[in-house]
A and B are shown apart, each in its own frame.
Chain A
Amino acid sequence: MTRILKPVSGRTVDYLDQICAQYFREARGLRIVEHNLGNAFTGRIDLLATDHARVYLITIGTDGFAGCLLRSFMGYRWFRENREFLQRIYRAEEIDVTLPPCLIILSQDIPVGAAAMCRDVCAVPVSLYRYRLFGSEDDPDISIEDIAEPDRVSLQGFSLDELRKELGIEHAGLTDQDIRDFRAAMGF
């Protein structure tokens, strides 16, 4: 699929940065520690975040997906090479940079199968989010969607109580055995 992207204006980029930070803070419960870390030549991280279990290196793409992917990888390399430096800058209560990293890429155009390819190829987890711009340049609206490919999302790590709460299905009264049987029947 070919998609020609309209250029994203400077003002919109600033807005995107703010909205994405808000999204990850409010919807994903991440703590945003830093904006715009590093530089475009050696690697840059648009948002550095943590949930105290992982470190998230977030890249907000304003050009094609290939460019975003490369920028994200460069950001990761920069992070690895400067981890000791970052450890000196940030207090452990703010962010523990020794935690396992996870790359997050936001792009307008994510090719089908990209998440599966990243999973096969990359040594670190990569999460993909598609954003869409609505409205005008002066007053943009942005929607963000988690591109979780069918076989990527696994709920195996959840306890069944957590799972019921996470999915909002408590009211159905599904027992642990119901859920186990469903998983088995569906081949999960």
Chain B
Amino acid sequence: MIMEEKSRLGRGLKDVSRFYLSDSPRDESHEPPKDESHEKPEGEPGGQEPGRDLPQPRQCRVIRVICPASALMGAYFTANFSLELARHRQKMIIFDLSSREGEGVQDVLGEAAHPDTASGVLRVRLYGLHDIPVHCSEPDGEAELLDRLNGSGDHNGDRWAVVNTPFCLDSLAKSLVDFDALLLSTLNEASLLQCYACAKVIEQRDPKAGISLVLIDPASSEQASEVSSRFCTFMKQRLGVSVGYLGHLLRDKALEDSLSEHRPLVLGFEPSPARESLAAVSRAFLEQRGLPVFGEEGRP
């Protein structure tokens, strides 16, 4: 009996099952409520801050994750953010345009992603929820990305395509697909300035693109609030861009272990500050778009 279970449940699958297997039927009819708004008190991530218009929900469901400060952090966020959204019953697809060896989404997912012999792509199987296909491409794989989005049965318009995008403004300006952007920044000057440059290029390419900001490892919530507030205000005044602040990510031992063990933080690790912060950012993302948020027990 034990042998049989061992052969059926690998480590990755066990991790997935632990957090994702539920008795909820796979519900294909979860369309995002169009007019529903979940506003939070002012000043909170996901809430509307004074004088700031949040990005409006758009038909475009391609989200580019851009982290100028660290390729590994971008891959970490792409993988875990996608898993978190899947837990909230969103259909996800991941594209990794990063070519940094050892710092890609596949490295973060580790054994949680299995090769799918039928389609030739990796796939994270979330039993009871929608699987997540994972496409790895070169940094200049824009054409492949477009093909996949247009032609693949994986992407039929109601999935979120999360694209781990290397920091390259030239490529960003020439993107073949419309997208919203999620900028990840540390609190240092270089990283924030790169995000400013990113926002400008994105705004020039598509003034309707939604831009969100996530800060990495601030010393305190107060510091994160102040920096995000200054950044968003400047973006509004200088570029006329409304940047939605989603919150901040913390680093801890669990995060380091998840990277060194090649296991996504949201699978197979106990709750920790890093995991909680990632879950909060994911919730804020959904709430900003008026999408349902589910609790740990799988209920809205």
Please list the residues of chain A having a beta carbon within 8 angstroms of any beta carbon in chain B.
Answer: 1-3, 132-134, 141, 143, 145, 148-155, 163, 166-174, 178-179, 181-183, 185-188
- The answer, among A166, A174, A185, for a CB contact under 8 Å with B230, is A185
Given contacts A155-B193, A172-B197, 7 further A-B contacts (CB under 8 A): A145-B72, A149-B188, A155-B190, A168-B168, A168-B194, A172-B196, A182-B196
* B217 / chain A contacts, CB cutoff of 8 Å: 150
Report the minimum CB–CB distance from A81 to chain B (whole Å): 35
Q: Is B259 an interface residue (CB 8 A)?
A: yes
- Quick one: given A3-B253, A171-B169, A171-B201, are A187 and B230 in contact (CB under 8 Å)? yes
* A173 / chain B contacts, CB cutoff of 8 Å: 200
- Quick one: given A172-B169, A173-B200, A182-B196, are A167 and B190 in contact (CB under 8 Å)? yes
Q: Is B225 an interface residue (CB 8 A)?
A: no
Identify the closest chain A residue to B262 (Cβ).
A134
| B interface majority secondary structure | helix
The count of A-to-B residue pairs whose CB atoms sit within 8 angstroms is 89
A1, B252: Cβ atoms closer than 8 Å: yes
Q: Is B219 an interface residue (CB 8 A)?
A: yes
Cα separation A149 to B186 with both chains bound (whole Å): 9
Cα separation A2 to B257 with both chains bound (whole Å): 12
Cα separation A145 to B103 with both chains bound (whole Å): 12
* A153 / chain B contacts, CB cutoff of 8 Å: 188-190
Q: Give me the 3 closest cross-chain CB pairs, A-B, nearest first.
A: A172-B197, A169-B197, A150-B187
From residue 249 to 286 of chain B, which have CB atoms closer than 8 A to chain A? Answer: 252-253, 256, 259-260, 262
Give 12 CB contacts A-B under 8 Å. Answer: A145-B72, A153-B190, A155-B189, A155-B193, A166-B190, A167-B190, A169-B169, A171-B173, A172-B200, A178-B238, A182-B196, A188-B189
B233, A185: Cβ atoms closer than 8 Å: yes
- Quick one: given A167-B197, A168-B169, A171-B201, are A150 and B188 in contact (CB under 8 Å)? yes
Q: Is B10 an interface residue (CB 8 A)?
A: no
Cα separation A154 to B192 with both chains bound (whole Å): 12
* B186 / chain A contacts, CB cutoff of 8 Å: 148, 150
Cα separation A59 to B135 with both chains bound (whole Å): 39
Cα separation A43 to B6 with both chains bound (whole Å): 52
Q: Is B218 an interface residue (CB 8 A)?
A: yes
Cα separation A187 to B187 with both chains bound (whole Å): 12
Identify the closest chain B residue to A113 (Cβ).
B219
* A134 / chain B contacts, CB cutoff of 8 Å: 102, 260, 262
Q: Is B160 an interface residue (CB 8 A)?
A: no
Cα separation A69 to B116 with both chains bound (whole Å): 48
B189, A145: Cβ atoms closer than 8 Å: no
Mark contacts of B197-210 with chain A using CB atoms, 8 A cut-off: 1 yes-contact digit, 0 otherwise.
11011000000000
Q: Is B70 an interface residue (CB 8 A)?
A: yes
Cα separation A3 to B254 with both chains bound (whole Å): 11
* A181 / chain B contacts, CB cutoff of 8 Å: 234, 238
Identify the closest chain B residue to A181 (Cβ).
B238
Q: Is B170 an interface residue (CB 8 A)?
A: yes
* B259 / chain A contacts, CB cutoff of 8 Å: 132
Cα separation A61 to B169 with both chains bound (whole Å): 36
Identify the closest chain B residue to A155 (Cβ).
B189
Q: Is B81 an interface residue (CB 8 A)?
A: no
B218, A174: Cβ atoms closer than 8 Å: no
Q: Which of B196, B218, B227 has the most CB of A within 10 A?
A: B196
Identify the closest chain B residue to A178 (Cβ).
B238
* A169 / chain B contacts, CB cutoff of 8 Å: 169, 193-194, 197
Cα separation A185 to B198 with both chains bound (whole Å): 17
